[in-house]
Every structure is written in structure tokens, then in C-alpha cells.
Structure 1
Amino acid sequence: MIPFLDLQQLNAPHQAAIETAVQRVVRSGWYILGQELTTFEKSFADYCEASHCVGVANGLDALQLILQAYDFPKDSEVIVPANTYIASVLSISFLGLVPVFVEPDPKTMLLDPARIEEKITYKTKAVLPVHLYGRSCEMAPVQEIASRFGLKIVTDCAQSHGATYAFSKKETLGDAAAFSFYPTKNLGALGDAGAVVTSDAELAKKIRYLRNYGSNKKYFNEYQGVNSRLDEMQAAVLNAKLPFLDRENQHRRELAQYYLNSIQLSELVLPPADRLDEDVWHLFVVRHPRRAAFIDYLLQCGIQTNIHYPLPIHHQKAYQQYSHLRLPITEQIHQEVVSLPLSPVLSLEQVAYICDCINQFKG
């Protein structure tokens, strides 16, 4: 069986470094807001070509803390792609803000900049692009629109560690970016972890307060904050793995290239290949009109797949107030998407077998 993702195998090449890092933390006696976090924040900010990184508990908190720090009035609107994971929208609604859904580009399945302007009202305060599947959104037109209307750009980078736009990591970040280091991510911890990355010094300072109960000094609180701190153990794990991120992303690109060159099944819609070297291919997402039969066939071939994601947000019970919306592109995407195996520990031989099986699919 070719698993969709084997986390034990994924971390095996880093096991010795991780164990050394964990032992170092245990022996230090310092487990929160210590040197491991400071080191990671500096290293990851540099990696992202930004000035500041603030480690937090998870990716959802990273998004929410950015929006909280901007202190938008209640009921302000935030434009968000309709095709995304629910965390992107939870970060908005938790703060009493209003998500405004925009249909994706059917080719990339990412936020379509051409559809943003028609959704802007006097209540709109921000645009929240999501770099889904490891590919950056088209940021130049988003930046132009945001500049013209005075909007903040808050990017969801949970799936795009190391991705570039115009071959620049900095160009993917917007005003502030939220990262998740959930174990399945391109840069994954051994539990929940996240970070905010920005070059706005005042914003970074405020988020450092907000993540720590609103305080930068014990028992003196400037804001009504939360408890959302990237702990020393997870920071140490990320410090051990970060130097290998680019190499692992390159392997992902090589596997993606093989998929793109080798799959010949006419019914299968492949992801675009126009920015192969800028994408980091967190997921290799294809579309098939007979998804259930396709998935069952691959499973019979010994190939596990996944669906990212089976139900759009406006059809989720949690957001039933938006069930009246008609978002046909998003709805079709969610009915057809299938994620094929792709990871740094997947071999070209395994991908070749997957491609051979796909090309023989008859339904």
C-alpha cells in the first residue's frame, strides 16, 4: 500500500536531530518563550525574507491574532476565497467580522483577483488570500486593488512554506502572513504550532503582547490577549527541520513534474504547471467528474488518496447562515477534487506506479 502520507517516515530522516533538540529543551528547564523560540523566530523571518516572526500556538491563532491586532470595527468585512479550509473563515467570524466569499479561478482553484473588486463595500477592511495546495495566489493584482481601496492583505500561508511569487518569498506575505506547522505541513512540528510573519514592526510588537495574555511583562497587561505561544519543544523541532525545507520542497517539485508529464487520463484535470518552480506542492490536487469510482479504483491498486476538501464552507452546518449562496465554481471543485500522494519521502518509482494505474483507469 502506498499511503497518502506517513508521518513516521516523514520525520525519520530528522529523528536524530529532533531527539537532540528535545533533549536540549528538557535539560534546559525553560519551556515557554525561551531561546529555542527566539532562534526559530529569527531564522524563519530570514527564510521568509521578512523582518519579524512571532511564534504562536497554531495557524488558526496566527490568522486570528493578525486580525485582532488590526482592531477592525465589529461587522467589518474581510474578503476570503470560497475554496479554502474552514480555519481561514473561523479566524474572521470569531472576531465578529464578516467573511465575504469570492469564487476561485477554476484553473488554479485559488482566489480570483478579477472577482474581488465587485465584492468591496464601505465595510471592507481586508483581503485574505489563501495560498492553497502550496501555490501562491496572484498577488500583484491583489496588491493593486488593496492599495487602491486602502485594504490590508492578510495571507493564509498554512500550506505554502517556501513558495514564491515573482520568485520572491516576500511577495507572498502581504501585510502579514499566518503559517501553520501542523505535522502534515511542508515544515511540520510534532504537534500544533504556528507563526505570524510580517515586516510591520508595530504589528509584530502588538501580536507578541496579544499571544501572551496581552502582556510583554509579567502581570502587566496592555491588551485583552490570549494564551497562544509556540512552546520551546515545538520550536526546537522546527529549528532542526528548517534547514532541510528547501531540499524537501525541491523533491516535491520533481514528483509534481513527473505527475504532470506522465498522467495521460483525459478526464483528469491536472493542476497548472506554469509556476512549477515557485510552487511548493504541499498537495497535488487533481479533479475527476467520477471521483468516487476513481478513488475506489486507486485504493484497489494499493494507493491511498485524500479529499481537500469534501464540503465547501457555505454548505457546512457551522456556517448555515451562508447556505443560500450560489458559488457554482467552488461547489464543483469540492465535488471533484482528489489529492494524490506527494511527500518528501515518496519515491519516483512509487509515483511512476501511481501514474501507470491512473492511465489505465476505465471507470
Structure 2
Amino acid sequence: MKVICDRGALVESLNLVGGVVVARTPKPVLACVKLTATEDLLTLAGTDLEVAVRLSTPRVEVQEVGEALVPADKLQQIVRESTDPTLTIETDQDVARITGQDSKFKIFGHPPADFPPIPEFKGDPDFEISAADLHRLIAMTIFATARENSRYAINGVLLERDGKKLAMVATDGHRLALARGTCKTSDEAGRSAIVPTKALNLLLRLFDDAEQTVKIKIADNQILFQTDEALLASNLVEGNFPPYNDVIPKEGDKKATLDTDVFVSAVRRAALLTNEESKGVRMAFSDDGLTLSSRAPEMGEAEVSVPVPQYQGDAIEIGFNPGYLLDALKVIDTGQVQFEFKAPNKPGVLRTGPNFLYVVMPVNLQ
């Protein structure tokens, strides 16, 4: 194999594929990236046996087709540190040589045949969605997934399709995020899958062109996402996702409409005087507006007042973890948000129209 690569394009491709490569593993081939040169493309592939990524770049001159299996970290470091606009990668058996204007490197690799096969996208997709819409659905839910929870089913995001309607749901037991969208499909049957957080984080980086169409296929215990340039395949999270509709409270009788930016600023300021022992912010809603307050022993107290453009219902005082609120507020792209309540010991619900809601449990206030 011999290719002359645009260094900038190669850096970008290696960063994306490197996101799935295992740094420390008893299987050396999993620490490698597979390079495949065809007539006019260089394809890079990486896998950790749970998630696999394959990415093609046309910004190469292929002088000799072939394959190579090269340690990802060293190849990334060499390409990143180079100052040359182009680099030549040439392989002889399991040895790769990277040449620039004033530098030469030789890397010992492995036989390409030892690399685990990357799943293929076979047949028609189950459905298609624009990369922009997929990004929105992922960004509005992924932050609410559990971290290292023994209930594996909530370590991922539920993707649920009913005809052309698409929903993504995430929860960690303290909050739940639900985002809705639409997709293109001729299959009216419903499908669902729990997608690992790692795969979704990679998707956000891999499919960065909002105009791209992403084809999606669920097969057995895997889900595949494909565009013209890239493919991501991931094993699904096993188990049953909690019945999330049971968690969403019915419409609350106390409703506050808030300016999103004003609310974000107020929560951030009130959170300044919280700590691990007292991380709740008290929120007092009434017809007169909203007052946020916090206190932490040996630190002090904070009080922030903001107007509420619209409020209905009796006055209420309720406490929330400010970090949980800010996680949701920073992905909301509407000018106003509605906050609903029933009682100080019942969950609050943030809504932005029909396509996003966020359920958050209250905290006890001393």
C-alpha cells in the first residue's frame, strides 16, 4: 500500500476513529487502526468489539492499493505533530513507513487479516433521518443517562420508533429526558433499541454535517448508522428500559413560563453557594415572580429574584439540584420554557412544546 494523504484530513479521520480504539488491551489488534487503500479512497476502521467505526476520506492520492494494521496512538501522534501539508504512508508486509519533507518514521504493525471484521450495512435501512435532527435528539437526552449503574439498561438511551415518529429517552433514576422527532420510513411497525452512550457520543462527532442523511438499521443485537462517508455499528444494551411513561407526571396544576436565558443565569448564580452537603437550590414560585435561594454552612447564602412572565396556580416552594436543571437548560434552543409542579415532594417537569420534556426529582430542603 502506498498513499499520499492530506495531513489535515488524516488528523481529523484519525481523531474520529481513535475515539473507539482501546488504549490498553490484551489484544494488540484492538489498539490499532486498519487502513485500506482502494483506487481513490483511504478507509480507516477501528473497533473495541462493542462499537466499530469505519470512515473514508477522498483527500488522498492512492499510488498502490492495499491494507495495513497500525497502532493508532503512534500513528495519531506522528500525523498530529507533523508540519507537512501531505504525508506519504507506505507499507511493506506489517511495517508502515510515514514520510514527510524532513522526517521518516517506521512503525511495526500487525497482519491486517487479524483485525476483527466490521459489520456491513446490508439491505434497506429501517429508517432515515437528517444528521441535524439526529444530533438534536441525542444532545437533548444523552446527558441524563446513568454512569456506571448496575442497571445496565439505563446506561444507554432508548431509541423508539413508531412509524415515522421517533423518540429518544434517557434516565439515571433522578431525572428523565424525552425528545421527539420524525424520520423517513416505509415500515409502519414499531421498533426500539437501547443504544450505548459511547456510541452516541461518537455519532455526535462522526456525523457533523447537518445536511447529511443518516441511514439506520437495527439487526439482532446491533444497530448500524451509515452515511456516504462513514459507518458506525454498535452492540445494543441488553435488558428492559424502565416504563418511562409511568414516570412522567400528568399535567401539573402549577405552571411557570420562564425566559430561558434569564432562568439559566438565575440558577447559575444561586448555585454558587451550594456544596456537596447542601447542593439544593430553593425555588419559591408565586404570582410575584421567582426567588431562588441557597445556603451552605461556612460559605454563606445566596438569593436571586427573577420575573416570571406567566404563572398559574398556588404559590409553591420546591428544591432542585441546580446541576440537573442546567444540564437540560443548556440544550434547550427555545426562548421560553415551561416548568410544571404538583407538590414540593413531587417531580417537576420542564417542557418546550411537544418535542421535549424533562422530569427532575426534587431534593429535600433543610
TM-score by length of 1: 0.27
**Relative contact order (C-alpha < 8 Å, sep 6+): which is higher?**
1
Which structure is higher in strand share?
2
Structure number with larger C-alpha Rg: 2
TM-score by length of 2: 0.27
